[in-house]
């Protein structure tokens, strides 16, 4: 080899080494600052009880720039977010948000349901194995035992080796417990009566932490024993109906359901203040916000590198809606005041945790229909379903067919439970019994469809059948399922919910904060999409039975 050729090889080798070094340095520098996930110090989940998506748009002009508007303008909103199942009530709603799957999978098929094993109705979070902590009542004998899957907060606890905390806060026990999951450090809910305190279950702790005792003893609640008047001049509440109407229910002691509402209510027996009524005013939401702030301070949520969870349920919106109706001045004022509580919490999160250090989602556990009488008076077709005649019709027909009423042992959530032991004992054909009962049910006014459990479990392309199927658990649900026609409802004052129609399924969904992209989408999303979306932001597993889809448009990559 010539000296010239040897020199060329050396020079080429040198350049190859230089290029390799540059490429390697470039690659290493390219990964600097790159993160595969976001690790907010705190995740806040806010669920508003009985909040229609429409309440965001309807009252928009009355909201401040630092409450709902701040979340929407600086966060991400899914404008067509729905519950993808038929039984739209509080217990299933919170469980579905938390688990990312439907009631048919997570097992919370209603607030209460008929239990086939015990032959009695059970409440979704009742658990006699545990004791009340913070009260001498039975209101704390609760646990998440009936929830069959993990929650998003559970998965975060596991992912952080149980260093990240979970705290749930609500007026309702089911709101706090089902949102928080099995591994929560604590879940607290409000006990009204003459004490008006936050309590919990021995499932979580043996005694109330000192800070909870101090909060209860401080009587913060007493400042809410006051007259409820509108936040702004009532004449500006043009988005709702007249204050005095026939669609609302009075508070005790009131002659008419109109502002101002006086809440210095005394117990008939002792003369002590009765605190339960606070839940039916916007001040119940204020009290929950007060307690949530104390929870952050005293549990030191969001103070280290392990992501903590705070689950907040604002339940007073549901109580107000049930009492006054979706078109009432009271509902409008409650949401205007809730906007102020959202503003207060956001200001606190920004100052305490840091504006770039937390991730938040806000949604609802179900929507609401308008008051039937209001719809009827405004020429919207409504018919009243007579539940007493319905029960008698079924009982009389079953007796006529089978000479006994005992073939039906229970009913709940528009489902009928049959006495399988008696059917077998009398050598009756179960399928034939179902068919005959379905035929007599189908003839009653207001009944749209009646299905056997086999029909619901079979795959099909019918939209409403799918909604029923998603809320149906073959081990827990009934033998026969029935639905109302869209324009039939129970006669009542105030709003209700629980149907598979859009007024009950269409609810808000807002993401905000660390790892969230600013924007909006109008395509249809499902409530089960929340958990996997937040899990993707955090880089953790979705709940173990999650069936939702990640809302990719909301994630800041």
Question: Is the same domain home to 60 and 192?
Answer: yes
Confidence of residue 264 (pLDDT cuts 50, 70, 90): low
In terms of domains, do 149 and 208 share one? yes
State the Cα–Cα distance between residues 202 and 127, nearest whole angstrom. 11
Average of per-residue pLDDT values in the chain: 92
Could you tell me if residue 327 is inside a domain? Answer: yes
Q: Does 4 map to a domain?
A: no
Domain C-terminal end among 484, 511, 545 = 484
Instruction: Flag whether 154 is in a domain.
Output: yes
pLDDT digits (tens, 9 = 90+) for 494-522: 999 999 999 999 999 999 999 999 999 99
Is residue 302 classed as helix, strand or coil in its secondary structure? coil
Percent of the chain whose predicted confidence (pLDDT) is above 90: 83
Determine the Cα–Cα distance for residues 552 and 533; give it in Å rounded to an integer. Answer: 7
Q: Are residues 521 and 431 in the same domain?
A: no
Cβ–Cβ under 8 Å, residues 200 and 188: yes
Residues 435 and 292 in one domain: no
The pLDDT score that the predictor gives to residue 1 is: 52
Per-residue model confidence as pLDDT tens digits over 123-182: 999 999 999 999 999 999 999 999 999 999 999 999 999 999 999 999 999 999 999 999
Helices (H) and strands (E) in the chain, counts: 19, 18
Confidence (pLDDT) at 266: 53
Task: Inform me whether the pLDDT recorded for 544 exceeds 70.
Answer: yes
Domain presence at residue 522: yes
Cis? peptide before 260, omega within 30° of 0 = yes
Residue 30 has pLDDT above 80, yes or no: no
pLDDT value at residue 195? 85
What average pLDDT does this structure show over 57-74? 98
Tokens 């209700």 found at: 496
Other C-beta atoms closer than 10 Å to the C-beta of 550 total 16
Assigned token pair, 56: 């965001």
Query: Same domain for 367 and 437?
Result: no
**Distant-in-sequence, close-in-space partners of 6: CB < 8 Å, separation ≥ 6:** none
**pLDDT for position 28:** 47
Rounded to an integer, what distance in angstroms lies between the CA atom of residue 328 and that of residue 243? Answer: 7
Residue at 490 is within a domain: no
CA distance 82 to 365: 10
Q: What's residue 284's pLDDT? A: 97
Tell me the residue range of the domain where 432 lies.
386-444+447-484
One of 90, 200, 307, 363 is an active-site residue; which one?
A: 90
Counted domains in the chain: 2
The domain that contains 169 carries what CATH number? 3.40.720.10
Please state, in angstroms and rounded to a whole number, the distance separating the CA atoms of residues 280 and 547. Answer: 35
Residue 284 counted as domain residue:
yes
Question: pLDDT tens across 81-132, in order?
Answer: 999 999 999 999 999 999 999 999 999 999 999 999 999 999 999 999 999 9
User: Are both 137 and 233 inside the same structural domain?
Assistant: yes
325 CB contacts (<8 Å, ≥6 apart)? 247, 248, 331, 370, 371, 374, 493, 494, 495
Question: What number is the average pLDDT over the span 205-211?
Answer: 98
Token pair listed for 360:
């938040």
pLDDT in tens, 294-348: 999 999 999 999 999 999 999 999 999 999 999 999 999 999 999 999 999 999 9
Q: Are 59 and 136 within one domain?
A: yes
| Residues linked to residue 112 through DSSP beta bridges, in sequence order | 123
Instruction: Please name the helix (run of DSSP H) or strand (run of DSSP E) that holds residue 186, with its range, or none.
Output: strand 186-191
Instruction: Read off the pLDDT of residues 479-493 as tens digits, 9 standing for 90 and up.
Output: 999 999 988 888 889
- 371 inside domain: yes
What are the backbone dihedrals phi and psi of residue 65, each rounded to the nearest 5 degrees, phi first? -80, -5
Encoded tokens for 36: 């595969």
Distances (CA, A) of 525 to 366, 505, 515, 517, 550: 15, 11, 19, 17, 10
pLDDT band at 23 (very low <50, low <70, confident <90, very high): very low
Residue 493's nearest CA partner among 273, 245, 277, 264 is 245
Smallest Cα–Cα separation from 126: which of 142, 147, 146?
Answer: 142
Contact 86, 468 (CB under 8 A): yes
Phi, psi of 434 (to 5 degrees): -60, -45
Same-domain status, 152 and 264:
yes
Q: Which residue from 158, 147, 148, 183 is spatially nearest to 168, judged by alpha carbons? A: 183
pLDDT over 70, % of the chain? 92
Residues 207, 281: one domain? Answer: yes
* Calpha distance 147→337 (Å, rounded): 33
The 8-class DSSP code of residue 545 comes to T
Which residue matches tokens 């068919």? 435
SS (H, E, C) 77-142: EEEEEECCCCCCCHHHHHHHHHHCCCHHHHCCCCCEEEECCCCEEEECCECCCCCEECCCCCCCCE
- Sign of dihedral through CA atoms 60, 62, 64, 68? negative
- The encoded tokens of residue 342 equal 């959202």
Determine which helix (DSSP H) or strand (DSSP E) holds 470, and give its type and residue range: helix 463-470
Q: Which of 289, 282, 284 is nearest to 231 (CA)?
A: 282
Q: Residue written as tokens 């629980």?
A: 498
The residue among 368, 369, 367, 371 whose CA lies nearest residue 508 is: 367
Tell me, yes or no, whether 371 and 416 share the same domain. Answer: no
The tokens for 223 are 């400042």
Average of per-residue pLDDT across 236-254:
93
Beta strands in 253-325 (DSSP E): 308-314
Q: Which two tokens stand for residue 481?
A: 């399922």
Place 263 in a pLDDT band, splitting at 50, 70 and 90: low
In the chain, the N- to C-terminal Cα span, in Å, equals 55
Q: What is the mean pLDDT of residues 212-223?
A: 95
Sheet strands side by side (includes 42-48):
132-133, 197-201, 186-191, 166-170, 308-314, 42-48, 358-364, 509-513, 76-82, 519-526
Together in a domain, 390 and 372? no
Contact (CB, 8 A) for 437 and 466 = no
What CATH number corresponds to the domain at position 468?
3.30.1360.150
The reply to whether 90 belongs to the active site is: yes
Instruction: Answer yes or no: is 82 within a domain.
Output: yes
- 116 by Cβ neighbours in 10 Å (0-12 / 13-18 / 19+) ranks as middle
d(CA 281, CA 263) in angstroms, rounded, equals 9
Look at residue 17 and tell me whether its pLDDT is greater than 70: no
3-class secondary-structure state, position 375: helix
Give the H/E segment covering residue 47.
strand 42-48
> Contact 225/307 with Cβ under 8 angstroms?
no
How many CA atoms within 13 Å lie on the side-chain side of 70?
17
* Site of tokens 């079953």: 398
Contact 497, 50 (CB under 8 A): yes
Same domain, 99 and 148: yes
């Amino acid at each position: 080899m010539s000296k010239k050729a040897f020199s060329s090889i050396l020079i080429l080798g040198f350049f190859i080494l230089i290029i390799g070094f540059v490429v390697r340095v470039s690659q290493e520098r390219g990964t600097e600052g790159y993160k595969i996930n976001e690790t907010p110090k705190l995740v806040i989940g806010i669920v508003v009880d009985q909040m229609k998506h429409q309440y965001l748009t309807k009252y928009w002009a009355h909201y401040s720039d630092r409450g709902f508007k701040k979340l929407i303008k600086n966060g991400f909103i899914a404008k067509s977010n729905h519950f993808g199942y038929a039984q739209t009530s509080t217990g299933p709603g919170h469980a579905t948000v938390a688990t990312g799957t439907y009631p048919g999978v997570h097992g919370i098929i209603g607030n209460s349901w008929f239990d086939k094993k015990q032959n009695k109705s059970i409440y979704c979070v009742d658990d006699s194995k545990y004791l009340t902590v913070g009260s001498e009542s039975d209101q704390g004998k609760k646990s998440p035992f009936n929830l069959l899957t993990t929650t998003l907060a559970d998965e975060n606890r596991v992912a952080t080796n149980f260093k990240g905390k979970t705290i749930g806060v609500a007026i309702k026990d089911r709101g706090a417990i089902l949102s928080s999951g099995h591994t929560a450090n604590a879940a607290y809910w409000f006990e009204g009566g003459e004490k008006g305190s936050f309590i919990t279950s021995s499932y979580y702790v043996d005694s109330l932490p000192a800070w909870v005792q101090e909060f209860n003893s401080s009587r913060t609640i007493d400042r809410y024993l006051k007259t409820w008047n509108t936040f702004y001049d009532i004449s500006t509440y043009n988005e709702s109906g007249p204050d005095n109407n026939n669609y609302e229910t009075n508070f005790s002691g009131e002659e008419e359901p109109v502002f101002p509402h006086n809440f210095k209510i005394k117990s008939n027996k002792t003369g002590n203040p009765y605190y339960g009524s606070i839940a039916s005013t916007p001040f119940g939401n204020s009290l929950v916000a007060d307690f949530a702030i104390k929870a952050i301070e005293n549990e030191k949520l969001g103070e280290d590198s392990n992501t903590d969870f705070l689950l907040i349920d604002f339940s007073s919106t549901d109580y107000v809606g049930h009492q006054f109706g979706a078109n009432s001045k009271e509902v409008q004022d409650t949401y205007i005041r809730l906007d102020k509580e959202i503003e207060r919490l956001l200001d606190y999160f920004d100052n305490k945790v840091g504006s770039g250090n937390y991730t938040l989602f806000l949604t609802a556990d179900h929507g609401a229909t308008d008051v039937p009488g209001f719809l009827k008076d405004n020429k919207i077709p409504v018919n009243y379903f007579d539940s007493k005649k319905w029960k008698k019709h079924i009982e009389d027909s079953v007796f006529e067919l089978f000479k006994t009423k005992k073939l039906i042992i229970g009913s709940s959530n528009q489902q009928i439970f049959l006495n399988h032991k008696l059917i077998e004992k009398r050598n009756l054909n179960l399928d034939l019994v179902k068919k005959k009962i379905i035929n007599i049910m189908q003839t009653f006014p207001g009944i749209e469809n009646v299905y056997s459990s086999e029909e619901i479990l079979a795959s099909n392309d019918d939209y409403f059948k799918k909604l029923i199927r998603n809320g149906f658990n073959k081990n827990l649900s009934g033998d026969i399922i029935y639905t109302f026609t869209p324009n039939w409802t129970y006669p009542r004052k105030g709003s209700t919910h629980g149907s598979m129609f859009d007024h009950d399924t269409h609810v808000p969904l807002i993401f905000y904060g660390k790892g969230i992209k600013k924007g909006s989408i109008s395509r249809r999303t499902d409530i089960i999409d929340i958990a996997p979306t937040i899990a993707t932001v955090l880089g953790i597993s979705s709940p173990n039975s999650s069936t939702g889809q990640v809302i990719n448009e909301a994630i800041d990559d």
